[in-house]
Amino acid sequence: MNTPLPDVPEVRVVGLPQLTAGFDLVQRLDLGMHLKVHGALEPMVGERLADLAEAVSLSGRGGAGFPFAKKLRAVAKSAIRRGVRPVVVVNGSEGEPACRKDTVLMCRAPHLILDGALLAAEALGARLLAIAVTRDSTEASLREALSERGLSDRRGRGLRVRVVRTPERMVSGEASAVISAVNGGPSLPAGRKVRASDSGVGGAPTLLSNAETFAQLAIATRLGAQRYGNTGLMDEPGTVMLTVSGSVARPTVLEVPVGVPLRYVMELCGAPPLPQAVLSGGYHGAWIDGLTAQGAIISKKAMATAGGALGAGAILPIGPETCPLGESLRVANWLAAETAGQCGPCKLGLPAAAAGLSEVLGGGGPTSLEALRQVTQAVRGRGACKHPDGSVRFLQSTLKAFTDDLAAHVLGGGCGRPTQGVLPLPAPGYEEEGIPSGEKLAVDWTLCKGHGLCAGVVPELIRMGPDGYPTLADAAVPMHLRANAQRAVRRCPELALRLEAAPAEQAPASRKALPRGQS
């Protein structure tokens, strides 16, 4: 099925709107309507701004959840120590197929994001504000908003503002990948642990946070800590933006007060009364079983207690009519294809993990399940960026959440349900090096003699089994491994290996390649 989410899905609000105020009046708040709805914003000195962010417990809304006040103070301290002007970066690189909340804000309330970013830039004395985006819609909206304010990247101005386009890839939203793009390089993680607050854009201390975080800062500045805290929970005040998709009647972006029951959020979007499970936090998140989800509430602590994660605010229930392991395999294959190809755990480990899950679903037995567990353990904590860890978190959560289905596939003939493709993935349309090629490797077992040359050429896709014969994933070959796969086919002395078209549901999830680091 796989219907990708639209750029701007339906938007709903529970309680009084804050970030989404004015959405009932117009499709997009231009500067005039923005000021009518929200009012003017007074500047605030750095320490007062940090105190406010601390008082409202403002943390990053992009998934990591790092306290914003700590970031702000760290950047200010580093800038003062080094005697350089810092840089502010809005991370709008929403490359995950299940997330649209930042896209909605950038398309419909761009000035609210700019308010927060300009507030931080003025408090820090920054001379450059960069905004990273992944889509035509968000780029057009933000460029129009900057034009309405008279802001540009021209030299000689007090504050230069630059819009940077990044590819719509999972790894493009990683902090160091965004900084690389702003610097004019590829949108790839740096592969080394360097704090942006010490050295970011152009080597300067850099304050980087996602679009919703800056919008929340603008709301908190207008309301003040006390009024902001009247909504939500004592330890997690305010509202949160969610993207709800999966087995729902209509994919929706919602603004809800922290503390709203998860069950109510799903009911608003037409989810099944009792879903099998709910994927929380997106494709780097974790599954919450259906019964536990009925009693969970929307908050970082509560979601973690329930075994899930709030993360980037993606909520994806799945109904009883689809195979949860088949759904997870589709996501695992996509995550493997999203590798930056810069480290072994990502380049080799994630395809091996996806292949292992495919073998389990194909009736590989307890041996294949144990091999999958070993692969995920080997990948964890060893990647150059957060993508391998996030992907392994998803896979390990899948194995833990669906034990009955796992047993049916491992010990029997499967669960008997089709994979309906309810978890959204990108639409066909482009080919990029991390994207499946539309082909898969196949073996003619009547010819194979177990020489093992193929496993040496393309170990990402083929490994030798305990019986001395190759085992390989029933999954599409990623574009960046296609040449190696062709080489493995040519090197097979028995002519037993071939490339063939992948099944339709494994056809390339391709998208139009976007220029990296282009402003």
- Contact of 211 with 102, CB cutoff 8 Å: yes
Average pLDDT value over all residues in the chain: 88
Domain end position, chosen among 391, 411, 431? 411
* Mean pLDDT, rounded, for 98-117: 97
Looking at residue 431, its pLDDT comes to 39
Region of 331 please: left (phi>0), alpha (psi -120 to 50) or beta.
alpha
The more confidently predicted of residues 278 and 465 is 278
With a cut of 90, say whether residue 276 has pLDDT above it.
yes
Q: Of 296, 318, 340, which one is at a domain's C-terminal end? A: 318
184 pLDDT above the threshold of 90: no
pLDDT number for residue 380: 83
Same domain flag for 61 and 206: yes
pLDDT in tens, 406-428: 999 988 778 889 999 999 998 75
Please determine, for residue 519, whether its predicted confidence score (pLDDT) is greater than 70: no
The enclosing domain of 27 has a CATH number of 3.40.50.11540
Q: Report whether pLDDT(28) > 90.
A: yes
Q: Rounded mean pLDDT of 434-463?
A: 79
Query: Which residue, 227, 260, 291, sits at the end of a domain?
Result: 227
Note whether 394 and 469 are same-domain residues: no
Buried b (16+ CB within 10 A) or exposed e, 450-484: ebeebbebbbbbbbebeeeebbbbbbbbbbbbbeb
* Structural domain range at position 299: 231-318
* 122 closest CA partner among 189, 49, 181: 49
Lowest mean pLDDT among 40-44, 287-291, 511-515: 511-515
More confident residue, 108 or 356: 108
- Note whether 223 and 249 are same-domain residues: no
Please give the tally of structural domains in the chain: 4
- Looking at the domain assignment, is residue 256 inside a domain? yes
pLDDT tens for each residue of 314-347:
999 999 999 999 999 999 999 988 877 777 778 7
What residues contact residue 68 under an 8 Å CB cut-off, 6+ apart?
53, 58, 59, 60, 209, 213, 217
Ranges 113-122, 265-274, 317-326, 344-353: which has the least confidence: 344-353
Q: Above 80 in pLDDT, residue 403?
A: yes
Which phi and psi (to 5°) does residue 340 adopt?
-80, -10
CATH number at residue 382: 1.20.1440.230
- pLDDT category, 434, cuts 50, 70, 90? very low
Confidence of residue 460 (pLDDT cuts 50, 70, 90): low
Find the mean pLDDT for residues 290-306.
Answer: 95
Residue of 376, 93, 74 whose CA lies nearest to 199: 74
The average pLDDT across 126-131 equals: 96
Could you tell me the CATH number of the domain that includes residue 299? 3.10.20.600
Compute the average pLDDT of residues 368-376: 89
Model confidence pTM above 0.85: no
| Amino acid (1-letter code) at residue 54 | E
pLDDT of residue 506: 41
Q: Do both 185 and 109 map to the same domain?
A: yes
3-state secondary structure 339-369: CCCCCHHHHHHHHHHHHHHHHHHCCCHHHHH
Residue 436 has pLDDT above 60, yes or no: no
Q: Are 56 and 197 within one domain?
A: yes
What's residue 472's pLDDT? Answer: 75
Residue 240's pLDDT is 97
Instruction: Give the pLDDT confidence score for residue 511 in this predicted structure.
Output: 37
